[in-house]
Amino acid sequence: MKELPKRKSLSDLPPELQSSGSHSKGVDVTFRVGQKVVYPNHGVGLVEKIEPGRIDGVEQLYFHLKLLGNNSRVMVPKANLDLVGLRPLCHHKEVRTLFDILEDGNIDTYKDWKGRYKQNLDKMKTGRLIDVAEVLKNLRLVSQRKSLSFREKKMYERAKYFIVSEVAHVRSITEREAEEQVEAALTSSLAKRQRTTRAAAAC
């Protein structure tokens, strides 16, 4: 049975441990209690506490997260922050870039299912908003041509939720409003692609 700490809380730790950092592409990122973060493939979470704990006989610092999509809770060891890709919410500028990508009509996709799935899975694993946007746009195009496989449908739903939830938190809007914005961008992208395809066929 896993042994969890009972005594120490964040306030019991020395100042240097009351927040902790993660390295993302060479940039030191500090997480703190009360901060909203993104847990790749799970959505937006809240850092509820940072405290030492002992699991399987190993004592280390743990980040206790509340996942806001379903109110579940997870513990992430400090040593695994880079591995799981935990990161801060993106900035407004990054959200604007996200919508530029969703709307641009440029969609690159493998024709065969296996290649496409691997490409999209690799992008999902990065947890980067722009990579997930490419997956969403890619699968939306495929779904217009034929039914998605069960796994791709699940990936599409996960990518859409991942984007909608982060956009909602960054822009301080409801998830319904964020979803409407994402849908409008995808519709615009597909329309641009159709115009480009028709123009190329007419040449």
What is the Cβ-side half-sphere exposure of residue 185, based on CA atoms within 13 angstroms?
25
Query: What digits encode the pLDDT tens for the residues 5-26?
Result: 333 333 333 333 333 444 444 3
Indicate if the alpha-carbon torsion angle 98, 102, 104, 107 is positive or negative. positive
**pLDDT of residue 106 exceeding 70:** yes
Go through 152-172 and write b for each residue having 16 or more CB atoms within 10 A of its CB, e for each that does not.
Answer: beebbebbbbbbbbbbbbbee
> Sign of the C-alpha dihedral, residues 98, 104, 105, 110?
negative
Task: Supply the pTM of this predicted model.
Answer: 0.77
Tell me which of 32-36, 39-43, 63-67 is least confident: 39-43
Q: What is the pLDDT of residue 5?
A: 37
**161's tokens:** 């939720």
pLDDT, one tens digit per residue, over 147-202 is: 999 999 999 999 999 999 999 999 999 999 999 999 999 999 888 877 877 777 77
Longest Cα–Cα distance of the chain, Å, equals 73
What per-residue confidence (pLDDT) applies to 29? Answer: 53
Q: What integer pLDDT is reported at residue 27 of this predicted model? A: 39
Domains and CATH numbers, the chain: 10-88 (2.40.10.170), 92-202 (1.20.58.1290)
